[in-house]
Amino acid sequence: MRLLVFGLGYSATRFAKCHRSSFASISGTVRSSEKAARLREAGHDTIIWPGGSNEVVACAIAEATHILISTPPGEQGDPVLAALGCELARHQHLRWIGYWSTIAVYGDAGGGWVDETAPCQPANARGQARLLAEEGWTRIGKVTGAALHILRLPGIYGPGRSALDSLRNGTAKRLLKTGQVFNRIHVDDIGSATLAAAKAAERLPGCHIFNITDNEPAPPQDVVTHGAALLGIAPPPEQDFETAALSPMARSFYGENKRVSNALTKATLGWQPHFPSYREGLAGILAVEDQAA
């Protein structure tokens, strides 16, 4: 497997680091020469794009057997499809396309359970853009004959990006909204699920959609309270969601309330989250910190 990653951000960089031995090669795109230099020092093969040579990217596409897209759509849609869709459509040796999407495509379910068969009714522009991108990548999958696996993700957390960090820097909030729950996913569980999907390319041809979530949708304030207990500090005071001072973006996340099932992913890919809930996830982050200390 020769993997090309579009967008070496937080999750994709960790995926490349943790699973490098599973691939013959991994290369990925970044937007700046500064980030490219940092990642190269850490052992990553990087391509500057957009802004670099399209010929270099075209060569990387031609050499890849597997492609992972982690870049989010912008105002003009999916940036990879817009710039390189024609190049990708000509690639007849591609075996697998993985697209990291979002559970926001489902919209609001009033706290009920949804799975991959649920209708997509995005409640905001972010979810709508992701759904359009999914449709675009589905077309590329059909043209190339590659297996397309759409991996829908919830809120991502991990080392350096968790309730532990917001508690330490004083930005954590305990917002109370009756009945509100969220799914989450530890960054390393994204990696293991993505690897399982990539390895299943021949077994699962065509288009498949998988929810990559933890097992336990939970109220957001519970995560903060538990994190504070792990750190041995007092949690921040509870705030009523309706009267809390929040940015429009932060408030919009609470417009969707659902429990997302990962049963199909487990059954089809043989995957299990190593961190089935925020409790194991936060404990795992602390363990990593202790080892690094």
Which residues is 174 bridged to in the sheet? 238
Q: How many residues does the chain have?
A: 293
Note if the pTM is more than 0.85.
Answer: yes
Secondary structure element (H or E) that encloses residue 288, with its range: helix 278-292
Closest CA to 255 of 78, 122, 71, 118: 122
Q: At residue 40, what is the residue type?
A: R
pLDDT tens-place values along the chain, 293 residues long: 999 999 999 999 999 999 999 999 999 999 999 999 999 999 999 999 988 677 889 999 999 999 999 999 998 899 999 999 999 998 888 999 999 999 999 999 999 999 999 999 999 999 999 999 999 999 999 999 999 999 999 999 999 999 999 999 999 999 999 999 999 999 999 999 999 999 999 999 999 999 999 999 999 999 999 999 999 999 999 999 999 988 888 888 899 999 999 999 999 999 999 999 999 999 999 999 988 87
Per the listing, tokens 């999750």 go with 11
Q: Phi and psi dihedrals of 125, rounded to 5?
A: -65, -35
For 70-84, letters b (16+ CB in 10 Å) and e give bbbbeeeebbbbeeb
State the first-to-last Cα distance of the chain, in angstroms, to the nearest integer. 35
